[in-house]
Amino acid sequence: MSLLLTTKLTKHFGENRAVDGVDFAVREGQVLALIGSNGAGKTSLVNLISGLLRADSGQIQFRGVDVTAESVHGRIRAGIARSFQLVNLFDQLTCLDNVALSIFAREGKARKLFSLARRYRGIWEEAAEVLHRFGLDGKARMLAGGIAQGERKLLDVAVAYALHPRLLFLDEPTSGVSTREKAPIMDTISSIVRSQGITAVIIEHDMDIVFNYSDRIVCMHQGTILAEGTPDEIRRNESVTTTLIGTPAS
Amino acid sequence: MTAAVLSGEGRSPVKVVASAAPVVVLLWVLPYVLAPYKTLLLTYGLVMAIAALGFNLLLGYTGLLSFGHSAFFGVGAYAVAFMVKYLDLTSMELFIVGATVASAFVTALFGLVCVRYTRIFFSILTLALSQVLWSLAFKFFWVTGGTDGLRVPTPRLLGRAVAASEDKTTFLVHAYYSYVLVVFLACVALMWVIVNSPFGKALQAIRDNETRAEFVGVQIWRYRWIAFMVSGVFTGLAGALWVPLNGLTTPDILYWPFSGEIVFMAVLGGFRTFSGPIVGAIVFNYLKTYAVGFTVYWQLLLGVILVTLVLALPTGITGTAGQLLARLRRAA
Ligand SMILES: Nc1ncnc2c1ncn2[C@@H]1O[C@H](COP(=O)(O)OP(=O)(O)OP(=O)(O)O)[C@@H](O)[C@H]1O
Ligand SMILES: [Mg+2]
Pairing of β A31-35 and β A57-62: unpaired
Check pLDDT > 50 for residue A121: yes
pLDDT at B6 over 60: no
pLDDT band with cut points at 50, 70 and 90 for residue B16:
confident
What sections of A32-140 are H helices per DSSP? 42-50, 72-78, 95-106, 121-133
Residues with CB under 6 A from ligand 1: A 13, 16, 18, 36, 38-44, 85
Pairwise CA distance, residues B274 & B331, whole Å: 26
Nearest atom within ligand 1 for CA of residue A205: 25
* Percent residues over pLDDT 70 in chain B: 96
Q: For residue A19, report the distance from its CA to the centre of ligand 1, in Å.
A: 9
From atom 10 of ligand 1, which residue's Cα is the shortest distance away? A18
B196 contacts in chain A (CB < 8 Å): 116-118
**What band does B12 get if pLDDT is binned at 50, 70 and 90?**
confident
Question: Using one digit for the tens of pLDDT, what is the confidence trace for B119-134?
Answer: 899 888 888 888 888 8
CATH code at position A48 = 3.40.50.300
Query: For B61, which residue in chain A has the nearest alpha carbon?
Result: A92
CA B97 to chain A, closest CA, distance in angstroms equals: 19
- The pick from A9, A12, A16 for probing ligand 1's pocket by mutation, whose C-beta has the most ligand atoms within 8 angstroms, reads A16
Any bridge partners for residue A24, and if so which? A6
Spatial separation of the C-alpha atoms in residues A250 and B172, rounded to whole Å:
72
Which residues on A lie below 8 Å from B194 (Cβ)? 113-114
Confidence of residue A245 (pLDDT cuts 50, 70, 90): low
For A116, the closest chain B residue by CA position comes to B197
Distance CA A218, CA A5 (A): 13
For residue A70, which amino acid is it? E
Question: Among residues B235, B143, B205, B189, which one has the least CA distance to residue B7?
Answer: B205
DSSP B225-289: HHHHHHHHHHHHHHHHHHHHHHSEE-GGGGSHHHHHHHHHHHHHH-TTSSSHHHHHHHHHHHHHH
A102: distance to nearest CA of chain B, Å? 5
Q: Which residue of A has its CA nearest to B220?
A: A73
Enclosing domain of residue A54: 2-90+149-245
Residue range A151-202, pLDDT digits in tens = 999 999 999 999 999 999 999 998 888 888 888 899 999 999 989 889 999 9
**Residues of A contacting chain B (CB within 8 angstroms):** 50, 52, 72-73, 76-77, 81-82, 84, 88-94, 96-97, 100-102, 104-106, 109-118, 120, 124, 141, 143, 159-160, 163
Measured from the Cα of A40, ligand 1's closest atom is 21
Q: Cβ separation of A94 and B10 shorter than 8 Å? A: no
Sheet holding A224-229, edge to edge: A80-82, A167-171, A199-203, A31-35, A216-221, A224-229
For the cut 60, the answer to whether the pLDDT of residue A246 exceeds it is no
CA of A66 to the centre of ligand 1 (A): 25
Q: How far apart are CA B138 and CA B279, in angstroms?
A: 33
The Cα–Cα gap between A130 and A132 comes to 5
Q: Evaluate whether residue A213 is within a structural domain.
A: yes
Closest CA to A151 of A162, A160, A139: A139
Query: Between the CA of residue B323 and those of A105, A224, B273, what are the distances in Å?
Result: 34, 55, 12
Contact call for residues B62 and B277 (beta carbons, < 8 A): no
Count: domains in chain A: 1
In a domain? residue A136? no
* Interval A195-215 mean pLDDT: 89
The protein residue with its alpha carbon nearest to ligand 1, atom 31, reads: A39
- What are chain B's domains? 12-254 (1.10.3470)
| Distance separating alpha carbons of residues B211 and B146, to the nearest angstrom | 45
Per-residue model confidence as pLDDT tens digits over A14-40 = 888 988 888 999 999 899 999 988 888
Collect residues with CB below 5 Å from ion ligand 2: A 43, 85
pLDDT of A84 above 50: yes
What's the gap between Cα A124 and its chain centre?
24
pLDDT at B1 over 60: no
Show the DSSP H helices in B140-176 as ranges: 141-144, 168-170
At residue A248, the pLDDT reads 44
* Structure-derived torsion over alpha carbons of residues B289, B295, B300, B302, reported in degrees to the nearest 10: -30
Distance A130 CA to ligand 2 centre (A): 26
The HSE-up count of residue B15 (CA atoms within 13 Å, CB side) is 3
Higher pLDDT, B158 or B214: B214
- Residue B9 — pLDDT band, cuts 50, 70, 90? low
User: Rounded mean pLDDT of B202-210?
Assistant: 95
**Alpha carbon distance B166, A215 (integer Å):** 86
Which of B213, B217, B223 faces A163 most closely, judged by CB atoms? B217
B226 touches chain A (CB under 8 A): yes
What ipTM describes this predicted complex? 0.90
Position A107 in a domain:
no
- The residue length of chain B stands at 332
Helices B198-208 and B220-246: crossing angle in degrees, nearest 10, is 110
Given an 8 Å threshold on Cβ–Cβ distance, is A77 in contact with B10? Answer: no
In a domain, A122, yes or no: no
Pick A112's closest partner by Cβ from B12, B198, B216: B198
Find, among B236, B200, B242, the residue nearest to B105 by Cα: B236
Distance A247 CA to ligand 2 centre (A): 14
Contact of B171 with B162, CB cutoff 8 Å:
yes
Distance CA B330, CA B332 (A): 5
Cβ–Cβ of B216/A101 closer than 8 Å?
yes
Q: How many CB atoms lie within 10 A of CB A216?
A: 19
Whether A9 maps to a domain, the answer reads yes
pLDDT score, position A232? 81
End-to-end CA distance of chain A: 33
H-run or E-run covering A167: strand A167-171
Residue B220 at interface with chain A, using a CB cutoff of 8 Å: no
State in Å, rounded, how far the first CA of chain B is from the last one: 19
What is the number of the ligand closest to the CA of A13? 1
Which one of A90, A139, A155, A161 makes the best mutation probe of the B interface by having the most chain B beta carbons within 10 Å? A90
Q: Is residue A173 part of a domain?
A: yes
The partner residues of A199 in beta bridges, in order of sequence, read A167
From the number of C-beta atoms within 10 Å of its C-beta (0-12, 13-18, 19+), residue B213 rates as: buried
